[in-house]
Amino acid sequence: MKYLLLVVGIIGIGALCFAAGEKVGIARFSDVPADHWAADAVTELADQGVLQGYPDGTFNGERAVTRYELAVTLARFAEFMNAGRNPLVQPDSTKSGSIIPEECPSWAQDSVLFLSENSILPADSPIITDGKKFATGEDVAQSLSSLAARFIELEVADPGPEDIE
């Protein structure tokens, strides 16, 4: 079930940056038609608090997002995945402290810190270091891959010496 949610989240986060096709769904945002291919994923992720849209009630799915906006969405999705269970993502106690870039807007700082401290994104990721630029397909792929890998890494324990025959 948790991997299904991860896949649904990955599709929903992908819908943040790309829009096309057809699917019947229920519109939550004024600019996401009910028959849009991503309407169901956008609505579900909005209902879970992962996507919030803009104050005017729009989603702006065809608008390019900044890397900081992607970081906020990734952090919200990780928090959604942690809800109701022992957290999969734990702070890495070996980290000496995360650095938030000076240009990082206040609304993104907690998310950038969360992604960095929990080793979801590497410290040199452009999502963290150069967040004002628009996210590219490579940024989305790298960040989703890193998020999925971190959840899998923490979910699947390494076998101890006693478990190896």
Concatenated DSSP letters for 70-90? HHHHHHHHHHHHHTTSS-S--
pTM: 0.67
Q: Whole-angstrom Cα distance, residue 76 to residue 161?
A: 36
Per the prediction, the chain carries an average pLDDT of: 74
Beta carbons of 139 and 126 less than 8 angstroms apart: yes
pLDDT at 21 over 80: no
Could you tell me which residues come within 8 angstroms of residue 55 by beta carbon, excluding any fewer than 6 positions away? none
Distances (CA, A) of 79 to 65, 70, 71: 20, 14, 12
- Tens digit of each residue's pLDDT (9 = 90 or more) over 46-58: 888 888 888 898 9
Q: What is the dihedral of CA 68, 72, 74, 80, to 10 degrees?
A: 180
